[in-house]
Structures are given as C-alpha cells and as structure tokens.
C-alpha cells in the first residue's frame, strides 16, 4: 500500500515503525544499547563513510529514536528529523548547523524565555549575533536582515505572549533573502499547524510539551522540509567538503535530507545533546494520542477563556481565538482547528491578588511547564520573571496580575470550579 496516503491520526500511531521482525513485538522496542555490532570490517568502513545506512553508536543514531524522528517528520510533512535531549538542544543543533561565529540571525522578540537567553547570551558568546524584532509587522524581519543573516526565527504561537506568527509572510521574506525560515512549533503541535505547508524550511519542537503530553519526559526535535535550495551560495558549509566529516558534501550526497545529515554527523555527533532511547519511547507513547488530546485541550481552553472574560474578578483574558483578540484573524488562518491549550488572564487586584489566586488553587498544579495532560498554572511575576523589575517584566509582556494557565484534560466543570473558588479567595 505504498501509494496510500495515511491520515494524520493514523500517522500519530504508525509512522516510522513496523512490528519487530525478529520478535513480532507490536510495541516499539526500547533499544537500550550504546553501540551496534558490525557484520565485517568492510561493513564498518562503509558505515563510517556514510555509504551504508545503519547504526554505529547511539550518540549518532538509535532505532528507537529513529522511529520518533520519522514519526514527527511525517506529522510535520517534512523530509527528515533529528531528535535531541531537550527542545533547547534541538533549536541549538538546528541553528549551529546554519551559523558560525560572525553570522547573524533575525528572531522574533516574543520568544520562550529560555530561547531568548540562548540567543541573546549564549549565542553572543559564540560570536553569533541575533537581532530581535517585533513580529507583528513581518517587514521588521526584512529590515533587520544583513548580508551575513543565516535564518529567520519565530514561534507559531509565542510563549507566553500567545501572539501568532504570519508564517506565509515570513517565508516570503526569508526566501527573498535566500535563507531558511526556522519555526518553533511547540505550542501549536503539528495537529494544529504544519508550518512547512506555509513555507517554513526547518521546524523545531520541545517534545517535552504537547507531543510527549504527560509531563514525564524531556525531548526536542528538528525537522527539515527537504525543499530549501542549499546550493544558492549562502551556505557553503552544505556544498563544500566537510572538515567535520571525511570531506562529505552534505547537499550533493544527501540532497533533500542533507541538512539533517549535517546536523546529525557534525553538530549532534560533536556536541552530543542526544535523546535517550527510553525517552524516545515515552515521547512516542504520548504522540500516539496527540490527535485525541489536542481537540480537547483546545475546546476546554476556549470555554474557559469565554467563562473568564465574563467573570467579575477578571481584568482581561488573552486567548488568540477569543473574539476581539488582536491575533484572531491570524489564528483563524493558521490554527483553524484550535489555538492550543494555553491562555493568560489578569486577576483584578494586581500582583498580590495573583499570588493569592495561586495559593488558593486546589486541583490545578502550580509549576513551570505547559502542555501536560494535567492543568498547570503559574504566576510569572512571582516565579519565572521575579528577578526582573516591574518595567522589565512589562517589556517582556509579563504584567503583575498575569496568570498563565495550561488547560489539561480534566472534567471542564472541575477546572472551572477550581478557577472560580481561587478567584473568590484572591480578592
């Protein structure tokens, strides 16, 4: 049935894996091994020369991890993927494959806090300069681009601002400049948005969030579209003999998965932030129900956003699909089946009311994560952003009274009950 195109739901369960030929096991085996035996000295040599595909050492590739890579690449409509130990490691691996010291990136200024620090502090120490721009006008990316710019970077849904990127416009600007568009699709997941269909060239994920979906396992991945023309003159490292791997010319040798091969054989092999086979197995368990979980996350979140927007103790509610939200039109275009499971709201009474609200919740878990099957809540001003002054918090989009809620899969009536009783106690 090679010519049959499977639906998204089927791919969540089957892509990248067939039952084990040796044992008949239906579930994916956890290949908990560091290394793989060679058939012969010639076989070993051809593996090291990349003339034969196969496994050598689990820092580079592993069959359990490979099933995860193929599955997420299929869900994103991409050509190939490379998993990493965390979301931070995946985006680092993607960007360090594109950039070297002296290069430049243009990124949205509304990014996940850890990503902002990775770019602004760590990459600066590597000699990679990042310009942050207001993503609401995509032309800001064009204006900030320089001769040494190697990629544009944004999040489909910004965390925690919940702004929506205009992917089509960003892809046009990137391609006019002959550089790839890299999109962090963590908060949307491929169930809600497939950025490659809108022109993205590389998609990165924190698998820790919705794809794993149960708050048990860290992981990340990069997926390449297979469509970027790496021989356009801007990426000599893709076309010239590799100093890092036996003089291989990655684009000429591997074509539409050349970027992933370079990321694997140079960046991942030498820096080493590899995903473990056990983690890949756990993340795949989560992905098997992505298509069942995401609609419920979206449905409950919209209902909660509507409930809170009429609540007397609430100052404001931010959810992209709430009518009147400034990103509603972009959300309807890029997230037609839902705007994911995260919303933010302001409790009347400022920072103290926010803290009292958090201290009053009973079922919701107070912690720093999103995308779990369980409902999670945090008051950024007193936790993730507490080291900043109030002015710095406002610049980062964090208001003193702001609460971030990651809506889980519990009974909607119970989530609403807990929110209401905690709001009553916050005043």
Ligand X SMILES: *Cc1c(COP(=O)(O)O)cnc(C)c1O
* 426 near ligand X, judged by CB under 6 A: no
CB of 193 to ligand X, least distance (A): 13
Report, in Å, the least distance between residue 113 CB and ligand X: 9
**Shortest reach from residue 391's CB to ligand X, in Å:** 24
Minimum gap (Å) between residue 163 Cβ and ligand X? 12
Contacts of 255 (CB under 8 A, 6+ apart): none
DSSP β-bridge partners for residue 203? 183, 223
Using the minimum distance from each CB to ligand X, give the nearer residue, 209 or 264: 209
Cβ closer to ligand X: 156 or 426?
Answer: 156
Q: How far, in whole angstroms, is CA 68 from its chain's centroid? A: 14
112-131: contacts with ligand X (CB under 6 A)? 112, 114-115
Residue position matching structure tokens 């010639």: 42
Q: Which of 69, 103, 129, 155 binds ligand X (CB under 6 A)?
A: 155
Quick note: the x/- pattern for ligand X over 212-251, rule CB under 6 A, is: ------x-x-------------------------------
Minimal distance, residue 376 CB to ligand X, in Å: 12
Give yes or no for residue 209 binding ligand X (CB under 6 A): yes
Among 159, 237, 260, 344, the residue binding ligand X under the rule CB under 6 A is 159
Q: In the bound complex, what is the minimum distance in angstroms from residue 151's beta carbon to ligand X? A: 16
Q: Contact letters (x/-) for ligand X, 384-413, by CB under 6 A? A: ------------------------------
- Shortest CA distance to 65 belongs to which of 50, 80, 51? 80
Question: Per 3-state DSSP, what percentage of the chain is helix, strand, and coil (rounded to 5)?
Answer: 40, 15, 45
Return the residue nearest ligand X (CB atom): 87
Beta carbons within 8 Å of 27's beta carbon, 6+ residues apart:
none
Q: Which of residues 42-101 bind ligand X (CB under 6 A)?
A: 86-88
Q: Is 159 left (phi over 0), alpha (psi -120 to 50) or beta?
A: beta
| Nearer to ligand X among residue 237 and residue 274 (C-beta) | 274
CA dihedral 311, 313, 318, 322 (to 10 degrees): 10
In angstroms, give the least distance from the CB of 207 to ligand X.
Answer: 7
- Bridge-based pairing state of the strands 104-108 and 149-155: parallel
CB closer to ligand X, 166 vs 418: 166
The reply to whether 187 sits near ligand X by the rule CB under 6 A is yes
Please report how the helices 63-76 and 277-287 are oriented relative to each other, as an axis angle in degrees rounded to 10: 30
Cα(307)–Cα(342) distance, integer angstroms? 15
Stretch near ligand X under the rule CB under 6 A, chosen from 47-55, 110-118, 233-241, 399-407: 110-118
Selected range binding ligand X among 108-116, 146-154, 244-252, 327-335, rule: CB under 6 A? 108-116
The DSSP-derived string for 55-121 is -SBTTT--HHHHHHHHHHHHHHT-SEEEEESSHHHHHHHHHHHH--TT-EEEEESS--HHHHHIIII
CA–CA distances in Å: residue 39 to residues 29, 43, 52, 66 = 22, 6, 12, 21
Q: Closer to ligand X by CB, 223 or 248: give it.
A: 223
184 vs 266 by CB, closer to ligand X: 184
Smaller CB separation from ligand X, 92 or 422: 92
What 8-state DSSP symbol labels residue 196? Answer: G
Interface with ligand X by CB under 6 A: which residues? Answer: 86-88, 112, 114-115, 155, 159, 184, 186-187, 206, 208-209, 218, 220
């Amino acid at each position: 049935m090679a010519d049959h195109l499977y639906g998204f739901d089927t791919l969540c369960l089957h892509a990248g894996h067939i039952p084990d030929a040796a044992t008949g096991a239906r579930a994916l085996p956890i290949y908990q091994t560091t290394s793989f035996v060679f058939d012969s000295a010639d076989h070993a040599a051809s593996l090291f020369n990349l003339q034969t595909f196969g496994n050598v050492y689990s820092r580079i590739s592993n069959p359990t991890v490979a099933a995860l890579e193929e599955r997420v690449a299929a869900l994103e409509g991409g050509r190939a993927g490379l998993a990493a130990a965390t979301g931070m490691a995946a985006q680092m691996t993607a960007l360090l494959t594109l950039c070297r010291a002296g290069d430049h990136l243009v990124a949205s200024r509304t990014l996940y806090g850890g990503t902002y620090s990775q770019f602004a502090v760590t990459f600066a120490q590597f000699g990679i300069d990042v310009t942050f721009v207001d993503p609401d006008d995509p032309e800001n990316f064009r204006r900030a681009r320089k001769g040494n710019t190697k990629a544009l970077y944004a999040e489909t849904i910004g965390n925690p601002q919940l702004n929506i990127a205009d992917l089509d416009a960003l892809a046009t600007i990137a391609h006019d400049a002959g550089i790839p568009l890299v999109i962090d699709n963590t908060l949307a997941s491929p169930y809600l948005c497939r950025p490659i269909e809108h022109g993205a060239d590389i998609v990165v994920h924190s698998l820790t969030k919705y794809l794993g979906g149960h708050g048990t396992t860290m992981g990340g991945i990069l997926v390449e579209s297979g469509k970027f023309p790496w021989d356009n003159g801007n990426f000599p490292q893709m076309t010239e003999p590799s100093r890092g791997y036996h003089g291989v010319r990655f684009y000429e040798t591997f074509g539409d998965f050349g970027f992933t091969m370079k990321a694997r054989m140079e960046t991942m092999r030498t820096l080493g932030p590899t995903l473990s086979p056990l983690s890949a197995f756990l993340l795949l368990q989560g992905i098997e129900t992505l298509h069942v979980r995401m609609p419920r996350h979206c449905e409950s979140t919209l209902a909660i956003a509507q409930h809170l927007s009429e609540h007397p103790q609430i100052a404001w509610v931010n959810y992209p699909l709430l009518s009147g939200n400034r990103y509603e039109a972009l959300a309807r275009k890029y997230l037609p089946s839902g705007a994911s499971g995260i919303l933010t709201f302001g409790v009347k009474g400022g920072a103290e009311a926010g803290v009292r609200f958090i201290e009053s919740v009973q079922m919701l878990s107070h912690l720093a994560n999103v995308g779990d099957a369980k409902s999670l809540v945090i008051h950024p001003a007193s936790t993730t952003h507490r080291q900043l002054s109030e002015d710095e918090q406002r610049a980062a989009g964090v208001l003193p009274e702001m609460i971030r809620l990651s809506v889980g899969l519990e009974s909607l009536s119970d989530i609403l009950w807990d929110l209401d009783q905690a709001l009553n106690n916050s005043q």
